C-alpha cells in the first residue's frame, strides 16, 4: 500500500527537492500547498496526479481557478480545512513554507500525520513549546530538516542530553567570509546573493551573510535538543562538508558529514534506513575535503549580529518572535535597496536592545495567534517609523 503524504510549501526549494526524490510507486501525495506560485503548483499536481491543492494568496487562487482544466482537481483557498481534505491519517508531511506564514499550517497539521519533517524555522524558533506539546499529544514523530539539526538529531536522538558536553553547528561563513571588513560599507546585493557553497533563496542568502541564520539555528538547537545555550557553539567551516560536531562527557567527539546538498536530510526523513541514497553514484568519502578541513571561531567584528546570542532568555518567550520579525523587516528593506548591508546589523541590534523589545523576554506565547499577532504588530510599527 502506498504511503500517504502532503507537502506544505511544495514550490520552494525544499518542497521541490522532496518531489524530485519521491517514488510514485511508494507514495501518494494527498495534497500540496503554496502561496503564489500557482503555475508550478498546477504542474506539480498534473505530474504527480494530485487531487487537492491549496493556494493561500487570493489573486493566485483566482488565476489558478481560471486556467485549470482538470475537473478532478480541487483547488482550495486560504480558508482551507485540513479535516475536509485529509480522510485518513497521513504517513508523512513536509513543512517547508518560508516565514511566519508557515507557522499556523505546520501547527495545525501535526494531529493529521504520523511523521512531520519541518524546515520552517519560525515554527521551531517562535513556537517550539506549543508545537512540541502538540507533537507529544498526537504522538507525531518530528524530524528537523536543516542539515545541521538533522545531523545532530541523527546522532543523539536516543541519547540522554546529560551525556552531551557540547554541540557545534558549522557555518560556511557565507558569501562575505573572505571579504575584508573595510569593504563591508561597499557591499552590494549581488555580492550577498553569491553564496559559495549552497544554493539559496535571496532571504536566506542575506541571513547567511550576516550570520543571522546561524543565530536562528542556535535557538532551534536549544529548543529541539533541550540544551542550554552554553552547550551550543558555532564554528566557521567554509567547505560545508562537516555539518555538526557532538562532544560527549566521556571524551569522545563525533563529526557528522555529508555532501553539500539538502537532498540527503530530505531523503532520510521520508525513506527508511534500508533505502539506498543515490544508488547510481559512488558514495565514497570526499578525501580531498577531509584533508582540507578549515575551522575557525566566528569574528564578532565582521558578524556583529551574533552578539544577540549572549543576550537570549533561558526560557522561551515572545522575544524570539521579535528577533525573527525585526530581521525579516530589515532583510526585506535591504533586498529592496532601501538600506545598506551594514545597516541590517546596526539597526537590528539597536532595536532589539531597546525597552520596546526587551520587555518580550518576560512574556510567554499562550498560543499560535499570540505569535502571529506580535509579528504583524512589529512589522506595522516598524513601517510607521523612520529607522534609517
| Domains, in order of start, for the chain | 3-145 (3.40.50.720), 147-306 (no CATH), 313-388 (1.10.1740.10)
Q: What is the pLDDT of residues 234-275, one digit of tens each?
A: 999 999 999 999 999 999 999 999 998 999 999 999 997 667
- For 68-72, 176-180, 193-197, 202-206, which range has the lowest pLDDT when averaged over its residues? 193-197
Q: What is the pLDDT of residue 282?
A: 56
pLDDT of residue 158 exceeding 90, the answer is no
Residues 349 and 307: beta-carbon distance below 8 Å: yes
Q: What is the pLDDT of residue 279?
A: 56
- Please give the Cα distance from 273 to 334 (Å, whole number): 43
Mean pLDDT value of segment 159-177: 92
Band of pLDDT at residue 175, cut at 50, 70 and 90:
confident
Left, alpha or beta for 59 (phi > 0: left; psi -120 to 50: alpha)? alpha
Q: What is the pLDDT of residues 284-293, one digit of tens each?
A: 888 888 888 9
Mean pLDDT value of segment 171-186: 88
Instruction: Report the mean per-residue pLDDT for the chain.
Output: 93
Q: What is the pLDDT of residue 281?
A: 57
Question: E strands of the chain, at which residues?
Answer: 3-8, 27-34, 52-55, 74-76, 92-95, 115-118, 141-144, 164-171, 232-236, 242-248, 253-257
Q: What is the pLDDT of residues 20-54, one digit of tens each?
A: 999 999 999 999 999 999 999 999 999 999 999 99
Task: Report the predicted TM-score, pTM, of the whole model to 2 decimal places.
Answer: 0.94
Share of the chain above pLDDT 90, in %: 80
Helix, strand, or coil (residue 37): coil
Would you list the DSSP string of 199-217? ---HHHHHHHHHTHHHHHH
Residue showing cell 515572545? 318
Band of pLDDT at residue 197, cut at 50, 70 and 90:
confident
Q: What is the pLDDT of residue 387?
A: 77
Q: What is the pLDDT of residue 194?
A: 82
Of 8, 3, 2, 15, give the one whose Cα is nearest residue 263.
Answer: 15
Residues 91 and 359: beta-carbon distance below 8 Å: no
pLDDT top residue among 317 and 200 = 317
pLDDT of residue 199 exceeding 80, the answer is no
Amino acid at each position: 500500500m502506498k504511503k500517504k503524504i502532503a507537502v506544505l510549501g511544495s514550490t520552494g526549494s525544499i518542497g521541490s527537492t522532496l518531489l524530485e526524490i519521491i517514488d510514485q510507486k511508494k507514495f501518494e501525495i494527498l495534497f500540496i500547498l503554496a502561496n503564489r506560485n500557482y503555475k508550478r503548483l498546477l504542474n506539480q499536481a498534473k505530474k504527480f496526479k494530485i487531487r487537492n491543492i491549496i493556494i493561500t494568496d487570493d489573486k493566485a487562487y483566482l488565476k489558478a481557478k481560471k486556467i485549470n482544466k482538470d475537473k478532478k482537481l480541487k483547488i482550495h483557498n486560504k480558508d482551507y480545512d485540513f479535516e475536509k481534505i485529509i480522510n485518513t491519517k497521513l504517513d508523512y508531511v513536509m513543512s517547508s513554507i518560508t516565514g511566519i506564514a508557515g507557522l499556523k499550517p505546520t501547527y495545525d497539521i501535526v494531529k493529521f500525520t504520523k511523521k512531520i519533517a519541518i524546515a520552517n524555522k519560525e515554527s521551531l524558533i517562535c513556537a517550539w513549546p506549543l508545537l512540541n506539546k502538540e507533537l507529544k499529544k498526537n504522538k507525531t514523530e518530528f524530524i528537523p530538516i536543516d542539515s545541521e539539526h538533522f545531523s545532530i538529531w541523527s546522532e543523539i536522538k536516543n541519547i540522554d542530553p546529560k551525556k552531551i558536553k557540547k554541540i557545534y553547528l558549522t557555518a560556511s561563513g557565507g558569501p562575505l567570509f573572505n571579504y575584508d571588513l573595510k569593504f563591508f560599507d561597499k557591499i552590494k546585493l549581488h555580492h550577498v546573493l553569491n553564496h559559495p557553497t549552497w544554493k539559496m533563496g535571496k532571504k536566506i542568502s542575506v541571513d547567511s551573510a550576516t550570520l543571522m541564520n546561524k543565530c536562528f539555528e542556535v535557538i532551534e538547537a536549544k529548543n529541539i535538543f533541550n540544551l542550554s545555550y552554553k552547550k551550543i557553539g558555532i564554528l566557521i567551516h567554509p567547505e560545508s562538508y562537516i555539518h555538526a560536531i557532538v562532544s560527549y562527557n566521556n571524551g569522545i567527539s563525533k563529526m557528522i558529514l555529508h555532501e553539500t546538498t539538502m537532498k540527503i536530510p530530505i531523503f532520510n526523513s521520508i525513506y527508511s534506513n534500508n533505502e539506498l541514497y543515490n544508488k547510481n553514484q559512488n558514495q565514497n568519502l570526499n578525501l580531498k575535503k577531509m584533508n582540507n578541513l578549515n575551522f575557525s571561531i566566528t569574528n564578532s567584528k565582521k558578524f556583529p549580529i551574533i552578539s544577540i546570542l549572549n543576550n537570549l532568555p533561558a526560557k522561551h518567550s515572545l522575544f524570539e518572535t521579535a528577533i525573527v520579525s525585526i530581521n525579516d523587516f530589515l532583510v526585506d528593506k535591504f533586498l529592496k535597496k532601501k538600506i545598506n548591508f551594514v545597516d541590517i546589523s546596526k539597526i537590528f541590534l539597536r532595536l532589539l536592545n531597546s525597552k520596546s523589545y526587551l520587555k518580550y523576554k518576560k512574556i510567554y506565547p499562550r498560543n499560535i495567534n499570540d505569535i502571529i499577532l506580535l509579528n504583524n504588530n512589529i512589522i506595522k510599527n516598524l513601517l510607521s517609523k523612520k529607522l534609517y
